[in-house]
Structure formats: structure tokens, C-alpha cells
Amino acid sequence: MRVNGEPVEYTGTGKELFIGFIVIMAIVFLPLALIGLGLAVYYGPESLILIAFQLAVTFALITLYGFAIYRARWYRLSRTVWRGIRGALPGSALSYSGKYFGSLLLGPMTAGWATPAMNLILAEHITNDMRFGNTPFSFSGHSGPLYARYALCWFGTILAYLAIAGLAIALFYSGTFNGLETALNKLGDYTAASDRRTGIHVVGIVAGLLAIYLLYVAIRSTIWSLYTARELNIFARYTRFSGAGFEFNATAWSLIALWFGNIVLIVFTLGIAHPFVEQRIMRYFVERLQVVGVIDFASIQQSQAKLDKRGEGLIDALDLDAF
Amino acid sequence: MTTHARNAEFFDGKSAMARLVHVEVRRDALVITQGSLPDIQWQLKNIELVSGGKPGQALRLKLGGDHGSRLTLPEGATADALVTTAPSILSAHKRRFWKGAGVSVAAVLAIAATGYATMAVAPQALARFVPDKVVNSFADSLEKSVIKSSQHCNSPSGQDALNKLARRVVSGADDPPTFSLRVFDIRTTGGKRLVNAFALPGGRMVLSAGLIESAGGADEIAGVMAHELGHVAHHHPEAAIVRVYGWQMVLSLFTAGQGADMIGNIAGVLAVLKYCRAAEAEADAYAVKVLDNSKVDPKGLQTFFTRLQKKKSAAGSGKPDEESSTLQNWLEPFTGLFSTHPGTDDRIANIKPRPGGTEPAILSDTEWTALKEICG
């Protein structure tokens, strides 16, 4: 992978990622799981104390999402070498985490309409913190140009939702689901001498419901890739580095192809192809990103920030991704 | 200083500026000459390959331990000279890759093995520490899902016979656990009587009316009861509870707490009530010992197993059996304590008859008839 003719090197190692994973498991998740287990065993599985504990843990983990995203970007940048120089993200993960949590709250409260503005604030925060060597990136712009596309996708999603819901309701009244309840009862029934037909019936209905859901997910993803492409392109244009600007050439279809390919890779290899997925994503970004203008390479010096030997544990534990 | 043709690109790791340099391969070092700047020497033994090295590719090199400086040698005489002088640069790159892959696989296997060992050993070790409250709430919900609205069979004379049988079995146990023993007429939805026995958490043993009906004598029922008592004495049902919570915990570990709502799922509990082979062997050993102490011929247990086995192989021989449907066959390994068990053959073979048989008989003929008619 090359940017402006020079290869981009990723020097992160599995060992570092593994240590990060172990550390986060040992100091965060294992104690939480043990406490949860203890509460469940002592107070019973449906006790209020256990439910309160689970809610508190869920809340705490949500507030950590932003933190994890920031730390993952920090790790990846510190392990990316281009022209002999490392990237860096020396800012505070905690203040980013606060903004991220705010965006999680504002999103649903505004029925999603705060999303472009919040995404811009988050991108602005993290990009302004980014360094290549000792030289900072900068980000400035407004979320205004995002809203026309956002509105299109928002109303498109509503339409898709109504169409799918209509389909489901039509199927319901056509009697397709009749017998589902009794069939399901028989399935869970330990002594049930249910016949082969019942099994096929249940499997058929479940498969049908799954198909409807997948159809909805596919339509929804297609619609929103229009917005994502727009956002990527605009955010690239808002970014500057050492006197140069950026152009990004994302299109809805290329994003769909990327996502679809990744999902197929993950599903059909049971996740073993994860490294290839990462590579596909990296390649997508590198191939479509263009530096506009001249970067004064002589002025860029190696950053003196120390390297931490741990990887992106929290991001893996929370199953998030910075891209 | 002589001037040399510039044959390589160099980044010094301090600045992002590319420098065109001359590289010369010596016996144990690479000498990088960069115009008016002082020469740089890279010891050959410290050089690592970053990428390239295949035909048509430039060699991209770095110094081991150094995070910045990079040297790109295009294909040509200098690159060839380097590979000839220090072939280990290429082989070490491959070795590092395979070492990394090997360590990763080993780490994954080690974690999986540790996890498996923990799940196999820990539940049994923790079983006796599960509080009564939890044991009882589990037993209640399990009982509900297994027994449902089945008739509780307790005709006075039948119950007396059952108690007598239980007392005889328990007389052979050194330190008998607390238990209860009840008979329920558990049926399939087709109305067929189920042949089974359970040890639910908290020492609640349940025999099905079908089991009593199909038994050829009190010895057989005593054998089954002793086997179930073995599960109770070894805390196997409580271990199953810990196992359920353990899997729940693992699940919530890897889904960041979102898998916890599965707690209380009875299907999951049923799935783990299928004991492992070691637990079955333990219960069998206990049964044989207890039966022997109480002067009951363990042959009864053997007879019962054999009959069950025959029934199973008949059902499995492709005979269309309407009442044992496909769906039930799927569920069967999870639902029966005597069901399709790979070790059943060994278990049967390992039981030796007691010389002299059962003496005296456990139940009189009248009591046996009463037990057979416990459901009224």
C-alpha cells in the first residue's frame, strides 16, 4: 500500500494486541463477570440487585465506547510508519469519550438529526489531535453540506421501514404465522412428540422472518452508504496537513461492495479472514485518498512520544472499530 | 570523500524527507553514504527485511529495534550483493512470520484448553457452595418444566413400598445425602409413558411411572435409585447450575455483558443436565458400592441398562417409530439421563453381579404389586 508513491507500513503486532486484550479482560471484564456471577448465584437470576448491576455495567461500558475508539486510533497511528515517520494521537481519550457519549445521547433524542453535526464534532476533535511526526492535522468545516444527503437517507429509511413492516403485516394476516406459537411451544417442550412437519414449519417461519429482517438490513445499509460516502468525502475535504489538503473518492456502491465483501469473508470463514477484512478496509482508504498540494517533508520531524507496548484491547473487547 | 552513484532511497527516521544515497555492501556492514552528511553503517546482523525481496521487488530494510529509519534498495547489483552476503535477512523474515503464526496458534490453543479445563473442573469443585436458595429456585423451575401437570403418583401402599426400597438402598450409603424421592406419571404429548429418572438440584429425585412400569423387579428400581443417589451425593445437579452460570459468564465476557439475560433459560439448564461420562461413571461406581453394602444385586441396574439399550438400538435401527419423532431425537441427548450415551456399553459391562444375589428380597410380592400400582 502506497501513499504518494511511498509505502505505508503497519508495525502493530499480534503480541501487542494480545497483551492489550488480556489486560483489558483481566482488569475490566473478568472482575465484572465474576461480580455478576456472584450476584446471580447469591441473589438469584432475577433479583433486582443483579439487574441494577447489569444496567450499571452496560451504562459504564457505553461511556467507554468513545474512549475505546480513541485509544484504538491512537494505537494504530502510533504503529503506522510512512517515510520513516510515525503517526501519533497525543490528546485526551477521556474528553473525546465525553463528546462521544453526548453524541450517543443526542442521536436518539433528536431522532437521528443530530448525527451529522455530532459526527463532525467528533471528527474535528480526533483529527485536530492527530499528528504525523511532530506535525498536526487540522480539521475545520460545517455540517451544513451533510444535511441534504442525511435528509434523503432518513426519509428513505422511514419508507423502507414502512414497506417492510407492511410486508410483515400482510404475511401475518395471510395466515403464514398461524400455528407458530403452538409449534414453538412444542419445540421447547421436553416431552413433545412433535412430528417432522412441526419442525419444518418452525424452521420455515423463522427463516422467513430472518429473510425479511435481512432484507431490511440490506436496504437500510444501501440507503445509508449514500450518506457515509458523502460524509467521508466532505470530512476529507475539511482536513489539512502541512499546507496540503485531501480529496476522498468514496461512492455508495463502492462502500456497499466493500461491506458486502467483508461480511461474506467474515461469515464464510467464521471470522478467520478478519486480517484480510482489515486490509481491504485499509486499501479502500489508501487507494481513494488523494493528497492535494505539496507537503513540506523536510519540516516533518519524528515525534518524541513514547510507544506503549499494549494494543487495542478495549476496542476488541467492546467489538468496536475505528473505521 | 569520493562521490558515488546514488542507488538507494533512505529515510533517516528523524525527518520525513527522502534522501537519495549510495549504498555499499561490505563483509559485515552496509555503508550508507549521504552526500555531505556523515556515513551511516548498518551491521548486517541487525538488518531486518520490511517488505519485498521477491523477483521484481525492491528490498525495503530497517535496522532491528529502530522504529524510524528505512532504506529501499531497488532490484539490482547492490540488492543482490546484500542477499548473497547476508542471506539470513530473507530467511529471518520468513522465520519471524512462521514464528508469529506458531505463537498465535499456540496461544489460542492454550486459552481454549485452559478454558475447557476450567469449565470441566470448576463447576464440580464449586457445586457444594451454591446457596440453598439458588438450588431450590433452580429445582423449582426445572421441576416445572420436566414434570408439568403430570400426576404425582403416591398411593399409600405404593409410597410405603417405595419408602421401604429407598431405606434399603440408603442403608448401604456411608454418608447418605439429603434427598426426596417421588414418582410422577410423565407422558409424551402422544400419551406414551416416559421411561426416565432424574436427580434435580437439592436432592430431588424423580422416577417416572413408565420406569416403574417397565422394571422387571425391585432390584432394577433400586439400581436406578442408587445411580441417581450417586448424582445427588456427588453434587452433579448443583455442578450443572454452576456450569450454566459459568457459560453465562463467558458469554457475557465476550459480549460485554449483553448475554446475561439468558440466565434462567430452562433449555440451557436441560442441556447441561446431561452429565458428562465421568459423572455417569461416578454415579455408577457409587451405585455399585451402595448396592453391594445394602446387599442388593447390582445386576438389577445392569438388567435395566441392557433393556434400555436394546430399546434404543431397536429405535435406532431404522424402524419407523411414529412416536419418537425427528425433533425429539434431536432433543433426546439433552433430556434423558439414560439416553443415547456413548459410554452406556462400558457402563453395562463394568457391573458385576453380586455373588448370592439380593438377600433378603427388597420387597414382598404384595409390596412390589403396590409399587407397580403407585399411580392408582
Closest CA to B71 of B55, B48, B93, B54: B48
Closest residue in chain A to residue B138, using alpha carbons only: A44
pLDDT tens string A176-208: 666 665 555 554 443 334 445 556 666 777 787
Tell me how crowded residue A86 is: count the other CB atoms within 10 A of its CB: 22
**Least Cα separation, residue B94 to chain A (angstroms):** 15
Give every residue of chain A whose pLDDT is below 50, as ranges: 187-195, 317, 319-323
Q: Which residues contact B237 (CB under 8 A, 6 or more apart)?
A: B139, B199, B200, B201, B202, B231, B273
* Binary contact (B253, A297; C-beta < 8 A): no
Q: Which amino acid is at A115?
A: T
Burial classification of residue B83, based on how many CB atoms lie within 10 Å of its CB (0-12 exposed, 13-18 middle, 19 or more buried) = middle
pLDDT tens string A301-312: 887 765 555 555
As a CATH number, domain B8-86 is 2.30.29.30
Grid cell digits, residue A147:
444535511
Chain B (308-367) residues lying within 8 Å, Cβ to Cβ, of chain A: 323-328, 331, 335
Q: Tally C-beta pairs within 8 A across A and B.
A: 150
Mutate one of B325, B329, B330, B337 to test the A interface: name it (highest A CB count within 10 A). B325
Nearest to B16 among A7, A297, A319 (CB): A297
Q: What is the mean pLDDT of each run of 10 residues along chain B (376 residues)?
A: 70 89 90 88 90 85 82 88 88 86 85 81 83 83 78 92 94 91 84 81 90 88 92 89 74 55 48 65 88 90 76 48 37 41 58 80 91 89
**Which residues does chain A have within 8 Å of residue B192's beta carbon, measured at their own beta carbons?**
193
Cis peptide, bond prior to residue A108, ω within 30 of zero: no
**Which residues does chain A have within 8 Å of residue B104's beta carbon, measured at their own beta carbons?**
14, 18
Give the integer Cα–Cα distance in Å for B325 and B14. 74
In this predicted structure, what is the pLDDT of residue B331?
Answer: 37
β pairing state of A239-241 and A244-248: antiparallel
CA end-to-end span of chain B, whole Å?
Answer: 114
Grid cell digits, residue B111:
486459552
* Binary contact (B15, A9; C-beta < 8 A): no
A306 at B interface, C-beta within 8 A? no
**Least Cα separation, residue B374 to chain A (angstroms):** 22
DSSP string, A33-89: HHHHHHHHHHH-TT-HHHHHHHHHHHHHHHHHHHHHHHHHHHHHHHTEEETTEEEE-
Q: What is the pTM of this model?
A: 0.69
Give the integer Cα–Cα distance in Å for A165 and B60. 57
Q: CA–CA distance from A91 to each of A61, A81, A125 (Å)?
A: 21, 19, 9
**Which residues does chain B have within 8 Å of residue A58's beta carbon, measured at their own beta carbons?**
257-258
Grid cell digits, residue A186:
412444542
B44 at A interface, C-beta within 8 A? no
**Cβ-contact A248, A236 below 8 angstroms:** yes
Tell me the residue length of chain B.
376
Element housing A150 (H / E): helix A147-173
Mutate one of A191, A195, A302, A316 to test the B interface: name it (highest B CB count within 10 A). A191
Mutate one of A47, A79, A135, A190 to test the B interface: name it (highest B CB count within 10 A). A190
Question: Can you point out the beta strands (E) in chain A?
Answer: 2-3, 6-10, 80-82, 85-88, 131-132, 135-139, 239-241, 244-248, 289-292
Give the integer Cα–Cα distance in Å for B24 and B41. 10
DSSP string, B329-341: HHHHHHH-SSSS-
| Chain region(s) in chain B for CATH 2.30.29.30 | 8-86
**Cβ-contact B90, B53 below 8 angstroms:** yes
